[in-house]
Amino acid sequence: MSTETIRLGDADIEVFVEGHGEPLLFLHSAQGFSPRHPFVRLLCESRLVIAPSHPGFGKSSLPDWMDKVDDIAHLYLDLLDHYGLDKVDVVGCSFGGWIAAELATKVGARFRRLVLVGPIGVKTGSVDQLDIPDMYALPPEQVSRLLFHDPDKNRPDFAGMSDEEVSIAVRNQETLALMGWEPYMHNPKLRHRLHRVKIPTLFLRGESDGLVSAAYLDRYAALIPGARTDTIAAAGHAPQIEQPRAFVDKVTAFLAA
């Protein structure tokens, strides 16, 4: 599994590049990216996977001026140029789905198909209620139950991590708070731009997802012309982790259609 560091503007971005076939830009969730997850190997069997660690995540730097998801989307315009991605499929999970949606409103012509997995990023419900539960007001155990269909199998083992892995895990959450604290987990302008997305789009959701509800996903999907939705059984907010084979099968079938 190969990882390289590229310079985009004033940011040093860690990028995983591996696999065979047509390129696939994969944008990870707030939990970060690890090539050790089984879904990565499965995707690499049929696609050339290009997966950057977002600024402030993994080993990627975070320039002082970056404090919004829209900033990351603009930086990734340079990433598309760096790898010559003129017509690429994109898969974004949760926080990465937010970035993918922002990107698609800017350069939709450079994307072939778009998959948003449990995406956040828009406000679709009433102004007096949160669309996404406030993870910072809940105990970790309850957050884990929101994230996973089977939290006992997916609880992080901090005791078994190296100091570097623990530091990265904490840094990932720190960057998520910076990018999504206010307004909480959305860009008020994004919902007014999604009509610009004209490419085939699939919204995927784990059936047991406690963060992104089915109603929220449907309202989100309705903002993109012609978008369709699908679910993955026995999975929560990270179906790529809990059901890697079902996740890859649904993604690759949609991208190949």
Q: What percent of the chain has pLDDT over 70?
A: 100
Mean pLDDT of 58-83: 97
User: Taking the model in full, what pTM does it have?
Assistant: 0.97
Distance of CA 43 to the CA centre of its chain: 15
Per-residue pLDDT reduced to its tens digit, 135-161: 999 998 999 999 999 999 988 888 888
Q: What CATH number does the domain located at 2-256 have?
A: 3.40.50.1820
Confidence category of residue 1, pLDDT binned at 50, 70, 90:
low
Does 7 have pLDDT greater than 70?
Answer: yes
Cα distance between residue 180 and residue 187, in whole Å:
9
Choose among 182, 206, 218: nearest CA to 68. 182
Stretch 58-81: mean pLDDT: 97
The predicted structure's pLDDT at residue 191: 97
Q: Using one digit for the tens of pLDDT, what is the confidence trace for 180-238?
A: 999 999 999 999 999 999 999 999 999 999 999 999 999 999 999 999 999 999 999 99
